[in-house]
């Protein structure tokens, strides 16, 4: 069965500092991985996704993530955060042929001026 773990429920970070949001998954088959961002009272917006190929995936707003199959991880990183990055971030996984996404419980990123 699939599952997604986001160990950090809240991550405060100072403006212009780097940040890493952790995501680990479990699955017995090949997976596709996604990071979504949710701003207050809005829907989810796709940041980036990994389907195949290069394990380093670049997304919008300067974010990137690295797929590590041996560690079953897909951590999200940004070298320098802005105030506007304050939001909830969700990691999601789906398996080949599946009909839906499995989401983690989210990480609330707060950027401190």
Both tokens assigned to 27: 């699955």
Contacting residue, 45, 68, 71, 80, with other proteins by CB under 8 A: 45
- For residue 63, the minimal CB distance to other proteins (Å) is 15
Stretch that binds other proteins, among 12-20, 36-44, 57-65, 74-82 (CB under 8 A): 36-44
How many CB atoms within 10 Å of residue 44? 17
**Mind giving me the DSSP string for 79-94?**
SS--GGG-EEEEEEEE
3-state secondary structure of 77: strand
Asked if residue 44 binds other proteins (CB under 8 A), the reply is yes
97-111 in b/e burial notation, b at 16+ Cβ within 10 A?
eeeebbebebbebeb
The Cα–Cα gap between 9 and 69 comes to: 23
* Choice between 45 and 71, CB closer to other proteins: 45
Stretch that binds other proteins, among 13-21, 56-64, 78-86, 98-106 (CB under 8 A): 98-106
Contacting residue, 55, 68, 71, 105, with other proteins by CB under 8 A: 105
Contacting residue, 49, 59, 62, 73, with other proteins by CB under 8 A: 49
């Amino acid at each position: 069965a699939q599952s997604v773990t986001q160990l950090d429920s809240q991550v405060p970070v100072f403006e212009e500092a780097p940040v890493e949001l952790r995501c680990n998954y479990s699955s017995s088959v090949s997976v596709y991985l996604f990071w979504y961002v949710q701003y207050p009272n809005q829907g989810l917006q796709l940041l980036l996704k990994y389907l195949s190929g290069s394990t380093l995936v670049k997304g919008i707003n300067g974010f990137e993530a690295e797929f590590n199959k041996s560690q079953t991880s897909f951590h999200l990183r940004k070298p320098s955060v802005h105030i506007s990055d304050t939001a909830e971030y969700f990691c999601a996984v789906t398996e080949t042929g599946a009909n839906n996404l499995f989401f983690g419980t989210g990480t609330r990123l707060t950027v401190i001026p």
